[in-house]
A = this chain, B = another copy of it.
Amino acid sequence: METESVTETDRCHAKAAGGIYAPGCPGRLVLDRIGDRWTVLIVGVLEHGTKRFSEVRDAVGGITPKVLTQTLRALERDGLVVRKVHAEVPPRVEYTLTEFGRSLIGPINGIRAWAEENMDELFALRARYDEAKTSDQ
């Protein structure tokens, strides 16, 4: 006889308990994953379809193979990406967003678009703040 176990997330999932605002809610780990700069950039590449490792690497300028491997593995582990190895010589390895992973496209594109559209403004405001701080002293 099996008893349904209480999952780690139960205690924070209920709105009454404060959801992701409850101390220690593991949903914050999910935020870390999906808000990560590499996740954002990689999902933005895979949303256009299945890609080989080298295609993702070339599309995300400056990413190291190590970081790309780690990020893809984390996404695969969380059911967001599927990795398929084709038995060729050399083996062809391809990555595809799962349906679950595709549900991330909208939210992730929202923050990527914001960053692209507003970075000039943000850096200008930052420079102005730093200047004001310096002249205060």
Which residues from chain A sit less than 8 Å from chain B, CB to CB?
7-9, 13, 18-28, 30-37, 40-41, 44, 59-62, 76-80, 100, 103-104, 106-108, 110-116, 118-126, 128-130
Contacts of A36 in B (CB 8 A): 35
Say yes or no: B114 contacts A111, CB within 8 Å: no
Determine whether the beta carbon of B40 is less than 8 Å from that of A35: yes
A75–B124 Cα gap in the complex (Å)? Answer: 14
Out of B28, B35, B111, B120, name the residue touching A9 (CB < 8 Å): B120
8 Å CB contact of A103 from B61, B78, B114: B114
Distance A107 CA – B129 CA, assembled complex (angstroms): 24
Residue of B nearest to A31 (CB): B37
